Structure 1
């Protein structure tokens, strides 16, 4: 099959970003389903063979938690007033199947690689990327609460699910 460049936009529903971590007291999760962006990919049939450029953005304040205190502490750390957008711009795909790019959180750029899988589902390309990041990758101190008695660990897991619609 011939390799072709295809352009996609992120569908209005189905995409989400999940940030998971732990503290000395409990595990925590923040989720956003308000993701925007586009992807220019090299494809062979339904398989991604290369990346020209992928842009993913979300409003920092769109990260939600079922625990209001957790969201409040996360926003204190991320400072959405000064840094309203979180973005990932991918520009390369290594032979090991990882995507490479720049993740911008709280105004700080960090080179990040993520493993990913893709499949075609209901006529849309669904890409799931996963990787480990740290608060300190973005020059951030892990959040704490109750005068430091509850403190988040530096390590975080990031999962990005993108539902992509081909642009005609």
Structure 2
């Protein structure tokens, strides 16, 4: 093989490697998304849910599996988090102060290990570095992503909510689950 053939072969190989690991841009679909925050108090368990999620993702995907992350941005209106119990929603909003902090966001920029995603979660105006476990699956041309992890009220300098003059008090520990449906940008 002469030098020119070797160089062309190398360039062709590099092109195949680069295109097989190409970055893909996604947007969060209009429906099918859900964020759940669950916790407990000295009286009962609780869950706050929002399905009003917006965002985008720039991911490296191979065979329907996320292999790396360039950037993921997920946002929701603070006041969109609701419980089936109106009193719980009211107490949560006292803590989260949606008038002063109308948006909750998560900006991920790293995949420290397979099945992990790291970034900054902003709640009530405070940033906290958070790493979550995640899974992904490609179905029907859409990428379904589920991320789960533990957070705390105190991660965001928040006191856990309480009611009835402090007789009912939420515990600091929370479980966060994010379910997203991502569509490839055209």
- State the TM-score, normalized to the length of structure 1: 0.98
Deviation at 1:121, TM superposition (A): 2.0
Corresponding residue for residue 3 of structure 1: 21
Question: Per residue, is there more strand in 1 or in 2?
Answer: 1
Corresponding residue for residue 74 of structure 1: 92
Secondary structure at the residue paired with 2:30? coil
Cα pair 2:67 2:114 within 8 Å, conserved: no
Deviation at 1:74, TM superposition (A): 0.1
Deviation at 1:96, TM superposition (A): 4.2
- State the TM-score, normalized to the length of structure 2: 0.89
Deviation at 1:3, TM superposition (A): 1.1
Corresponding residue for residue 62 of structure 1: 80
Q: Structure 2: which 5+ residue stretches go unaligned?
A: 1-16
2:164 to 146, 149, 159: 146
Q: Which moved more, 1:150-159 or 1:119-128?
A: 119-128
Work out whether 1:34 is the aligned partner of 2:52. yes
Secondary structure at the residue paired with 2:68? strand
Q: Distance in 2 between matches of 1:124 and 1:63?
A: 25
Deviation at 1:114, TM superposition (A): 0.3
Deviations 1:1-39 (A, max 9, x none): 721100000000001100000000000000000000000
Q: Distance in 2 between matches of 1:28 and 1:117?
A: 25
Count of aligned pairs between the two proteins: 168
Work out whether 1:166 is the aligned partner of 2:184. yes
Q: Distance in 2 between matches of 1:126 and 1:96?
A: 16
Work out whether 1:91 is the aligned partner of 2:117. no
Tell me which stretches of 4 or more aligned residues in structure 1 moved more than 4 Å: none
Secondary structure at the residue paired with 2:159? coil
Secondary structure at the residue paired with 2:131? strand
The higher radius of gyration belongs to 2
Q: Distance in 2 between matches of 1:120 and 1:43?
A: 10
